[in-house]
Structure 1
Amino acid sequence: MSRGKFSLRRQLLTWLLIPQVILWVTGAVLSYGVATHYADRVANESLAQTGRAIARQVRDAGGHLELSAPVVETLGADRISEAKLFYAVSTVPGELIAGNRNLPEPPPPPVDTQESISYSDVEIGGVAFRLATLYYPLPKAANGDGRWLLVQVAKGMERHEQLTREILLVTALPLAALIVVMSWFVQWGIGRGLKPLTGLKSLMEKRDPQDLAPLQLADAPEELDALTQALNHLLTTTNENVARQRRFIADAAHQLRTPLAGLKSQTELAMRETTPEGLRDRLNMVHASATRSIHLVNQLLTLARSEPTNQTSMTQVKVDLAKLIRELTAESVPRALAAGMDLGCDSPLLEAQINGNSALLRELFVNLVENAIKYIPRGSSITVRLNQEGDRYVVEVEDDGPGIPDEQKPRIFERFYRVNQNDGNGCGLGMAIVKEIAERHHGTVALLDAQPHGLIVRVELPITPVEAAS
């Protein structure tokens, strides 16, 4: 099941905006806490001032306590009404001097002689109030008789909640505006950062499919520059492969044209022959031309199959080089004898295991032996050797023929190149096939001079761990 496409822009926005939203929510919670704290502080200070103001109005009137001035006059009627203020003034224990008897039970008085005040949230008649409980020391209490004045003041929470909202709005709204501005800048920055990708996309869409030139992207960021370099490397490799294939097709067409043209000419001449002997000679020439054409086609197919750019994966199996060399040498002995040559095998190794493609390796060594038989004179000798040198197997095919001049050795591995261009027996692909197959097996091939004369073709193949074929 294929995964759905995703947008890089949306992912970047998501992962950048989510932390901002979290920060905004956290900031809002902290702002609410700060607002509540300062609203409580303002309400508590107001209640404390009100309670002290009421306590200062208490006077001793002939053995009993009373308010020297009504609370309405002290605080103002409007203030009491707007704030929904309730109060109670009493002695400790239990003697109400003035105020509301329905206020909640106060906590016990302090043990020392210092003023004490505490705050709490209460409900009176189903309405929320902020309550301040003030223990105010009476003058006689200061002399040690233990009497306290208890003042309770309860104020409605409406003003408190309004103040909380005002503080929250003052802090949260600028923070929200800042988040909005930051989000816009983030989106703008992402769009600007991804703009080179859009440019690369537009460049690729406008490019001709046949244009494999490297991409030129101005002012590319470091990450996109790395992608561009990778694409340019791919385009360069593709261009080289296409050029190689075109060159191969052109060379193959050129090489096939000659034997096919000769085959056509021979068949036309054979059709005009009137004697059996002449017809037989022409048919022999037709057969020879057809044989050379088949050999050329087979070599071309082998070369195409051995190229590293071949899309078909090379199946690797366990190959015994020692056994393969002995078998190929034995198979080629009849042909060597027919050509008047001495072909032998020299291999001290009883077994030489490597990973490789058995068909391609067989083709490699067949080409080496056939080239030696084909291009050296009668009466020559050919020796095939197999040895191990360090972590590599070395196969050498040595002959005592005329050899190859040093100036021509670098060109031997070129396709369709022949030392003797007038020799019509070969097609110039054998050594190119040898080189391609050796390199595909991570090996090398070299040409050396034999002593006193002749040529040594040296193939080195790495000894790799044996793996079962898939």
Structure 2
Amino acid sequence: MRKASSPFFASGSRSLRAELLGWLLLPLAGIVVYNGWTAQRSAETVANLITDRMLLASARVIAEQVRETDGRVEALIPPSALEMFASPDRDRVIYRVLSPTGQLIAGFPDIEMPPQPPRDLQPVFYNARFRVDDIRGVALAQPVISETAGGNALVIVAATLNGRDRLVRELWLRSLRDQAILVCIAALLALLGLRSGLAPLLRVRNALQSRDPGSLQPLRREDVQTELQPLIDALNQAFARVQRYIDLQRRFVADASHQLRTPLAVLKTQAATGLREETSAGKSDALAAIDGGIDAMGRLVNQLLTLARAEPGGAALRKERIDLAAIARAALESLAGIAFDRGVDLSFEDKVGTLPLAGHSTLLRELVVNLVENALRHGPSGGAVRVTLDRQGTQALLIVEDEGPGIPEAERERVFERFHRLAPATVEGTGLGLAIVREIVAAHGGTISLSDRSGGPGLRVLVELPVADRDGTPREEPH
């Protein structure tokens, strides 16, 4: 039983949704970490600022109470100067007041002095330790008006850092909480966006899974986003290629069954006749007839296979750099015996020496063989068949001329159809030769045309194929 996949998390080793979420959320998580670090620094700055303001306010309240009375410098510590530090954190507030001469007026004598004394009535903030606690302190110079000798008294106020640390934590955690909420909201929105964005792709998947296995109908590209339309186009092109391949296979089977049915029936009749014959001569005649029929069927099968391979969408056509002149020469040598038997003068004129093409050597050889053999079949005994190889610009020219009856202009397009034969068909054949030639020429990006032979009756076949560059690719005509 098939297990249904989750709408949010795809099955398999990789999930597009998970990868997209990862690309969205991992950077956000990194930003949260960085913002958390900066938020802590900001919280410490704010907490230090608040603590420093409180320390400075307390120091100024105490400094206002420093005065000289009866020749003595005194400092009255008002309760309000210390009460402003009251909090649940139970911070200790310590102070120290020194006279202009450096004598202790009030406070704790063991508070550490600032790293440098305050100047021009500017406070000096610093961190230090008081006994076992870390403290934050401020030092403030307070002018003292005296009848004998003036100067600046030194007021130091410090406090432990419990309240400051609590404030840092509260500010930092509040900022971190807000950012975590934003990330969660962003993740939820991203998840909803991905679900909505991937919905067309999932619909395509479901449509492919639910359609009939034999259906190759194209998918609608309008149902998906612009970024996914190239994928739909590629799938539709693949469907079209598969459909063409299936059509080719069906046509091949139909052609083969149609063309083999009659020869097989004839062979069956000839075999039955041979079995009924009682004389050796009769059986020999039947066997000879069967042998000729088998030869004809073999040629028909070979032509059908060649046609199937040359058609677009058939077997992969691997092209390589070849020499058309060498291929034509070898093909004509194989047909010399047939020309001799028919009393036909077969000649070959090579005007270029070598003709490099990007093509399939076997199919091009079959092209030459079919054209020349067709000329030999239809030409008169004692006539001539002339094959010429030339070059014009970026095109290789293969010309085959015979002295046969030719082909009427009205029939010159139809003779390229499968199994089409001119009426009356006085020459034995399958009607596939020119169909094979046209498919081979088309597979190599060329053209083929038929015309009357100049200088007398007969047919002239002109095949034009693109010449290859040095790297083996067909050379284009310059514009």
Please, what TM-score do these two structures have when normalized by structure 1? Answer: 0.89
Equivalent residue in structure 2 for 1:105, among 100, 105, 113: 113
Equivalent residue in structure 1 for 2:354, among 348, 351, 359: 351
State the shift of 1:383 in Å. Answer: 0.7
2:139 maps to 1:133: yes
- The alignment covers a number of residue pairs equal to 459
State the shift of 1:202 in Å. Answer: 1.0
**Aligned in 2, Cα 1:273/1:237: closer, same or farther, shift over 3 Å?**
same
Equivalent position of 1:7 in the other structure: 15
2:234 maps to 1:226: no
Equivalent residue in structure 1 for 2:414, among 411, 414, 419: 411
Q: How does 1:31-110 map to 2 (within 5 A)?
A: 31-67=39-75, 69-72=76-79, 75=82, 79=86, 82-110=90-118
Query: In the aligned structure 2, how far is the partner of 1:34 from the partner of 1:307?
Result: 75
Query: In the aligned structure 2, how far is the partner of 1:380 from the partner of 1:251?
Result: 34
State the shift of 1:438 in Å. Answer: 2.5
Query: In the aligned structure 2, how far is the partner of 1:217 from the partner of 1:288?
Result: 56
State the shift of 1:221 in Å. Answer: 0.7
State the shift of 1:30 in Å. Answer: 2.5
**Aligned in 2, Cα 1:109/1:278: closer, same or farther, shift over 3 Å?**
closer
Equivalent residue in structure 2 for 1:118, among 124, 137, 145: 124
Q: How does 1:240-389 map to 2 (within 5 A)?
A: 240-311=244-315, 314=318, 316=320, 319-389=322-392
**Aligned in 2, Cα 1:41/1:250: closer, same or farther, shift over 3 Å?**
same
What's the Cα RMSD here?
2.7
Equivalent residue in structure 2 for 1:399, among 402, 419, 423: 402
**Aligned in 2, Cα 1:144/1:97: closer, same or farther, shift over 3 Å?**
closer
**Aligned in 2, Cα 1:97/1:290: closer, same or farther, shift over 3 Å?**
same
Query: In the aligned structure 2, how far is the partner of 1:294 from the partner of 1:343?
Result: 25
Gaps of 5+ in 2: 1-11, 473-479
Query: In the aligned structure 2, how far is the partner of 1:351 from the partner of 1:310?
Result: 29
State the shift of 1:426 in Å. Answer: 0.9
State the shift of 1:217 in Å. Answer: 6.0
Query: In the aligned structure 1, how far is the partner of 2:80 from the partner of 2:397?
Result: 119
2:163 maps to 1:159: yes
State the shift of 1:23 in Å. Answer: 1.9
Query: In the aligned structure 2, how far is the partner of 1:73 from the partner of 1:301?
Result: 110
Aligned-pair identity (%): 36
State the shift of 1:229 in Å. Answer: 1.7
State the shift of 1:282 in Å. Answer: 3.2
Query: In the aligned structure 2, how far is the partner of 1:411 from the partner of 1:460?
Result: 20
Gaps of 5+ in 1: none
Please, what TM-score do these two structures have when normalized by structure 2? Answer: 0.88
2:447 maps to 1:441: no
**Aligned in 2, Cα 1:276/1:78: closer, same or farther, shift over 3 Å?**
closer
Query: In the aligned structure 2, how far is the partner of 1:75 from the partner of 1:271?
Result: 134
Equivalent residue in structure 1 for 2:26, among 10, 18, 21: 18
**Aligned in 2, Cα 1:393/1:120: closer, same or farther, shift over 3 Å?**
same
Secondary structure of residue in 2 paired with 1:209 = coil
State the shift of 1:303 in Å. Answer: 2.4
Equivalent position of 1:192 in the other structure: 196
Query: In the aligned structure 2, how far is the partner of 1:77 from the partner of 1:353?
Result: 100
User: Do the aligned residues in 2 keep the contact of 1:28 with 1:172 (CA within 8 Å)?
Assistant: yes
User: Do the aligned residues in 2 keep the contact of 1:340 with 1:380 (CA within 8 Å)?
Assistant: yes
**Aligned in 2, Cα 1:424/1:48: closer, same or farther, shift over 3 Å?**
same
Query: In the aligned structure 2, how far is the partner of 1:431 from the partner of 1:11?
Result: 56
Query: In the aligned structure 2, how far is the partner of 1:41 from the partner of 1:213?
Result: 72
Query: In the aligned structure 1, how far is the partner of 2:90 from the partner of 2:265?
Result: 118
**Aligned in 2, Cα 1:76/1:250: closer, same or farther, shift over 3 Å?**
closer
State the shift of 1:224 in Å. Answer: 1.9
User: Do the aligned residues in 1 keep the contact of 2:317 with 2:360 (CA within 8 Å)?
Assistant: no
Query: In the aligned structure 2, how far is the partner of 1:421 from the partner of 1:40?
Result: 112
Secondary structure of residue in 2 paired with 1:457 = strand
Secondary structure of residue in 2 paired with 1:344 = strand
User: Do the aligned residues in 2 keep the contact of 1:354 with 1:466 (CA within 8 Å)?
Assistant: no
Query: In the aligned structure 1, how far is the partner of 2:313 from the partner of 2:391?
Result: 30
Query: In the aligned structure 1, how far is the partner of 2:362 from the partner of 2:80?
Result: 117
